[in-house]
Amino acid sequence: MGSIGSMNKPENGFLAALIQFPVPIVNSRADIDKQIESIIRTLHATKAGYPGLELIVFPEYSTQGLNTAKWLTEEFLCDVPGPETEAFGQACKEEGIYGVFSIMERNPDPDKNPYNTAIIIDPNGEICLKYRKLFPWNPIEPWYPGDLGMPVCDGPAGSKLAVCICHDGMIPELAREAAYKGCNVYIRISGYSTQVCEQWILTNRSNAWHNLMYTLAVNLAGYDNVFYYFGEGQITNYDGTVLVQGHRNPWEIVTGEIFPCQADQARRSWGLENNIYNLGHRGYVALPGGESDAGLTWVKDLAAGKYKLPWEDEMDIKDGSIYGYPTTGGRFGK
């Protein structure tokens, strides 16, 4: 269940490839077009090198880069679906694989900021999942908070796929939501710089363990003249152990064999540490069926729209002004 020898389709599983894509330096629409060409070329080349490949994953910002001066310009933004996703879809169809791609998506509401979006395209070239980042990385990112929830779709070899984006992976409730909806392979695409590398590794493992599901995570790699991006593609088993760990090399391809049926079996047959079940069935030894209400105040307050931390009124940073964003709301803060 590692990268050694992983070039063909495993029995009862599938082969995945995580691309530690070099961080793009994007200053124009022409640069974005070059990125799309590079992503498609990489997809074809990776499939040629790994004939059994069924899922390929590209990091957050691999299409449009992280040029903050361009983030909110019309030139920078794309539509989903649109010409960019059609090009990705054609490549997936030609190779007969699933692909995960990152798009900074124009908001259909002209008065609101864009979305940070991930899509999964199936082997027929069709978008089978669209996800908008639920938790933009405050206070740096200006993206409008996602409104599509945490969708799950069918994937290869009986897998159920979900995607989160970068900081979403630091929110354990999102991984739990994906698992609660049946996800057994949780994909995380990121554009983190090096300051949170250890936390990246930790949360990929904890999301897997808490929910008895595989996690597949990949980050941009390299230097963009401001930050260094750490790569560190990671495939984690449903028991929280790391099966494959990439390094900090741009263009490194992290591959691994994934067996969704094993995660499903653990969910059905484990007694000890089946915590995703135990959450809603507290103390079932003493109380047949268990207690479903854990009395968690934050859950009830969040559902009621009353979520507030005890120290919230004393917090220093609760908007994006430290990075120069206006605090007035509306389209791009205007």
- Residue 180 burial by Cβ neighbours in a 10 Å radius (0-12, 13-18, 19+): middle
Catalytic site residue 60? Answer: yes
Per-position DSSP letters for 252-321, written without gaps between them: -EEEEEE-HHHHHHHHHH--TT-HHHHTTSBTTTTSTT-B-----HHHHHHHTT----TTGGG-S--SSG
Nearest-angstrom CA–CA distance, 187 and 234? 10
How far apart (Å, rounded) are the C-alpha atoms in residues 330 and 117?
Answer: 19
> Is 166 among the residues known to form the active site?
yes
Q: Which of 92, 153, 164, 166 is catalytic?
A: 166
What is the rounded distance in angstroms from the CA atom of residue 104 to the CA atom of residue 116? 5
Smallest CA-to-CA distance from 238 within 199, 290, 276 is with: 276
Residues 47, 70, 130, 133: which is the catalytic one?
133
Q: Which of 60, 84, 105, 257 is catalytic?
A: 60
Q: Which amino acid is at 289?
A: G
Active site residue 133: yes
Q: Token pair for residue 307?
A: 């979520």
The two three-digit tokens of residue 292, written as one number? 């479903």
Q: How many CA atoms lie within 13 A of 308 on its CB side?
A: 7
Active site residue ranges: 60, 133, 166
